[in-house]
Amino acid sequence: MRGRLVAAYAIGLAVVVAVVLGAGYLALAAQLRAASAGELSVRLDDVSAAVEAGDVRPVERDPYAQVISGDTVGARSAATPTTPVLSPREQVVAGHGRMVERRSAGLRGTALLAGRRLPDGRLLVVGTSLATVDDAARRVLVGLAVLGPALVLVLTLGVRRLVGGALAPVAAMTTRARELSTGRLPEPPGADEIATLARTLNEMLDRIDAANRRERAFLDDAAHELRTPIAVLRAELELGVAEEDPRAARRALTAALVEADRLGRLATDLLVIARSRAGALELDRAPTDATIVIRDAAARVARVHALAVEVTGPEVVAEVDPVRLEQVVSNLVGNAAQAGAARVRIAVAQPAGSTLAITVDDDGPGFPEPLLPVVFDRFRGTHGGTGLGLAIVATVARAHGGAATAGNDSALGGARVRVVFG
């Protein structure tokens, strides 16, 4: 990056220096020629005034002057030839007050010639050599040709040093990032773009590190939760294989089947949590008779656990995923049953600004007060469950744009969980 910046700067600077020095050279050359033209005009005025007064001696004393009449030369300076220094066409041009540049005998290099038409029709011509002007311009050009590249080189080296200093923190961050396994990048002081970049990258590293810690904790918790049902399942199967009494073997296999069901539910719950964490929990939202889905799901769980379940509220049609809604209700009622509740009441509502709201009250012991702030976290079960039921409830609610809350303010004396779908 530093090389590209310096190269771009050097190219841009070279163009600017070339334009500026070139314009300066052209302006200087034009100024030198203008000065020569001014001096020549003064000489022409002086000599012309004398000739018009009848005195041709100033012509003869002038460094370079002629009085031309057609193709003949009258009075002239010693340095001029005996023939006209201007062609007939150039005489016309000079007669109109315009100066002529050309090679002329008696003058070194290019000559600048100025003329004036006298009252008697003759043409007075004076001239000067531009060799001195051209030599001075060439010397300036050579100097600029040396100065320009030197200036570009010096400024480029200076900018390279400045850019290197400005980007040194980036190089330090790059080196540190290559070596980094844990920790943070060095943050330069100040509030410029480099310091902001370092802070932003460190914030990103903190988020990645936190996500990795959560991932490791999730895997550790999942492995721990899976280990118990697998061990129980293996033990029951080994017992069934070793048992000679068919009835005892059947009891062992039945217990193994229960553990297999538990293991399957745990795997399903883990899959839901994992998909939610990856942002891949898909919802199939559709207009759903939510009250019927809730009533059916609650009745199925109630039959399994011998619960008294009551569903109250209006018939609500909501834009939700019916499968996930059923999962939420099953988890909430099942959680109440595992907590020891004998009675559950589900209130269905459709408050303003929300698609659906479910409030589940039970007459169980409620949530332990220390667990209320983390009751929706993974693996927080307190009644022999997997600890994922309420976590899935909160996950599904968030996926619908809503939220879940928990407390011990149930009208039935136990726990209350409220789930709102956005």
Q: What is the model's pLDDT at position 181?
A: 56
Tokens of 228: 């118990």
CB 404 within 8 A of CB 393: yes
Average pLDDT value over all residues in the chain: 84
Q: Which residues pair with 287 in a beta bridge?
A: 319
Span(s) in the chain for CATH 3.30.450: 2-135
Q: How confident is the model at residue 388 (pLDDT cuts 50, 70, 90)?
A: confident
Instruction: Give the architecture (CATH level 2) of 2-135.
Output: 2-Layer Sandwich (3.30)
DSSP three-state, residue 87 = coil
- The CATH number assigned to the domain with range 286-421 reads 3.30.565.10
Among all chains, which residue has been given the structure tokens 């300076």? 77
| Chain region(s) in the chain for CATH 1.10.287.130 | 193-277
Residue 187 DSSP label: -
Q: What would the pLDDT profile of 114-163 be if each residue is shown by its tens digit?
A: 999 999 999 999 999 999 888 888 888 888 888 888 888 888 888 788 77
When pLDDT is averaged across residues 161-171 and rounded to a whole number, the result is: 70
Per residue in 73-119, pLDDT (tens digit) is: 999 999 999 999 999 999 999 999 999 999 998 899 999 999 999 99
- Which of helix, strand or coil describes residue 422? coil
Helix (H), strand (E) at residue 222: helix 193-242
Q: What is the pLDDT of residue 65?
A: 95
Report which of residues 255 and 367 the model is more confident about.
Answer: 367
Instruction: Give the orientation angle of helix 193-242 with respect to helix 246-277, to 10 degrees.
Output: 170
- Give the mean pLDDT of 347-368: 93
Report how far residue 364's alpha carbon sits from residue 176's, in angstroms, rounded to the nearest whole number: 56
Non-local (6+) Cβ contacts of 170 within 8 A are: 1, 194, 197
The residues of the chain that CATH labels 3.30.565.10 are 286-421
The architecture that CATH gives domain 193-277 is Orthogonal Bundle (1.10)
**Whether this model's pTM surpasses 0.85:** no
